[in-house]
Amino acid sequence: MKELSDGVDRITWSDDPDHCDIASLCDDVKSLETEFADMDWDTHELWVRTDPIVLEDVYLGPFEIHLPFTCLGGAPGSMEFRIVATDPHPSAKREDVVHPHVESGHLCEGDATAPISRALEQGRLLDFFQIVRSVLNTYNADSPYVKLENWEDGGIQCADCGYDVDDDESSFCEACQSTYCGECIYGCGRCSDYVCRGCSVRCPSCEERYCGGCMLTCSTCKKELCNGCVNDDGICESCQAEQQAQEGITDNDDSTQQPPTPGNGEQQGEGAIIAEPPASNAA
């Protein structure tokens, strides 16, 4: 029971006046027995069971909310609570989605994230379980893992994130031939073909995404860049700038090392004849 003892200590020893004391924790545990269909615990966690949940005429069944004692008091690195379907009716397409907002036991808390976190930090057990149950009894059509209208037939799902996507909002990757939502597909910056994250390539120069056919390899640095970032000679802008800078240094060196042009009366080496000044015509 050390995990429970540590959790109680984190709550009751806090200077926050909103944190529960031992008496409040005991009252919350007693209330859970009457508030929920069932309640139990072991040495590691406490859990309750909800009544069967039905959303928009779709029967989902009852759920257990499992709270590890390490979550009490907001312990750093504490385990997340889990949602377990006791009579699972998962979506037709994804067995790990037993509720529109539950994936693999993890609840998408949405706007309830802050209230849930605060309730755990302060040790308000009854409030925590009531908030989570409220989320389970609510359907947000804007952000489900699987939409209720597609619960039985599966519908269309994004091949990347797995979210449901309406037919008129989906796009087809020209490379892998799979269907994606608008967040997981890109229009090639050059040819405008639609390509997914896995089939597209990000140009390191302009940082836009392109299909593989619109990418070229710089003949100098061998980096893969888009057509627009490589010149007609197959050189990227960065290498081109380096070459121009190097050519400028070479030109300057050549100009400073040119020997002087010999003039009249200058020594030209051994055996050179030094021109005499012209004779005066004065009488």
Residue 162 has pLDDT above 70, yes or no: yes
In degrees and rounded to multiples of 5, residue 176 shows phi and psi of: -95, -5
Compute the mean pLDDT over every residue in the chain, rounded to the nearest whole number: 81
Spatial CB neighbours of 177, under 8 Å, sequence gap ≥ 6: none
Tokens standing for 279?
Answer: 């004779």
Q: Residue 217: which H helix or E strand, with range?
A: strand 215-217
DSSP label at 230? B
**What is the separation, in whole angstroms, between the first and last Cα of the chain?**
131
DSSP label at 164? B
Instruction: Provide the pLDDT for residue 96.
Output: 93
Write b or e for each residue in 183-212: b if 16 or more Cβ atoms lie within 10 A of its Cβ, otherwise e.
ebbbbbbbeebbbbbebbbebebeebbbbe
Residue 99 has pLDDT above 90, yes or no: yes
Q: Residue 202: which H helix or E strand, with range?
A: strand 200-202
Of 59-68, 121-130, 238-247, minimum mean pLDDT range: 238-247
**DSSP code per residue over 21-39:** -HHHHHHHHHHHHHHSSEE
Helix/strand/coil for 191: coil
DSSP label at 227? G
Instruction: Provide the pLDDT for residue 283.
Output: 39
Residue 5 has pLDDT above 60, yes or no: no
Residue 138 has pLDDT above 80, yes or no: yes
Q: Which residue has better confidence, 283 or 59?
A: 59
Average pLDDT over residues 242-251: 76
Residue 261 has pLDDT above 60, yes or no: no
Instruction: Provide the pLDDT for residue 46.
Output: 92
Q: Which residue has better confidence, 88 or 242?
A: 88
Q: Which residue has better confidence, 260 or 72?
A: 72
Residue 211 has pLDDT above 80, yes or no: yes
Measure Cα distances from 127 to 115, 124, 234 in Å.
9, 5, 65
Spatial CB neighbours of 62, under 8 Å, sequence gap ≥ 6: 37, 49, 50, 51, 52, 53, 85, 86, 87
